[in-house]
């Protein structure tokens, strides 16, 4: 396996304090967030509680708040900070110039072809 970084957006496409839906590799269910401090985070796009789109949630600091039931997720760790048993899958983000890239692990070869 190797980590592959996929271009997902330009920095200007994500205003501070917002999130947008993105596709990373073959996964269309991801979200990219930019805090008011300008940090970028990427995670799965749906709240694990009842599948609400988190890119539509509110950002407070490094937390995204689901708009349906107000579960709060720390974007640094993926942990739910106000209810047990919920978390987000987080992905590594890097900025190359004005481009935002998200890294995911991929097989070097498709194991189904072996």
pTM of the model: 0.92
40-96 confidence digits (pLDDT tens): 999 999 999 999 999 999 999 999 999 999 999 999 999 999 999 999 999 999 999
Give the residue, 39 or 107, on which the prediction is more confident. 39
Could you give the CA distance from residue 45 to residue 54 in angstroms, rounded to a whole number?
5
Percent of the chain with pLDDT over 90: 93
For residue 108, the model assigns a pLDDT of 84
Mean pLDDT over all residues of the chain?
95
- According to DSSP, residue 79 is labeled B
Tell me the domains of the chain and their CATH numbers: 2-106 (2.102.10.10)
């Amino acid at each position: 396996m190797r980590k592959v970084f996929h271009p997902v957006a330009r920095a200007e496409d994500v205003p501070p304090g917002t999130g947008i839906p993105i596709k990373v590799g073959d996964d269309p269910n991801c979200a990219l967030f930019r805090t008011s401090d300008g940090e970028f985070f990427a995670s799965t796009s749906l709240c694990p509680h009842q599948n609400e789109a988190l890119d539509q949630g509110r950002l407070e600091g490094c937390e995204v708040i689901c708009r349906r039931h107000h579960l709060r997720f720390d974007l640094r760790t993926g942990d739910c900070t106000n209810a047990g048993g919920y978390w987000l899958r987080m992905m590594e983000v890097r900025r190359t110039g004005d481009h935002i890239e998200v890294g995911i692990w991929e097989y070097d070869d498709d194991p189904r072809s072996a």
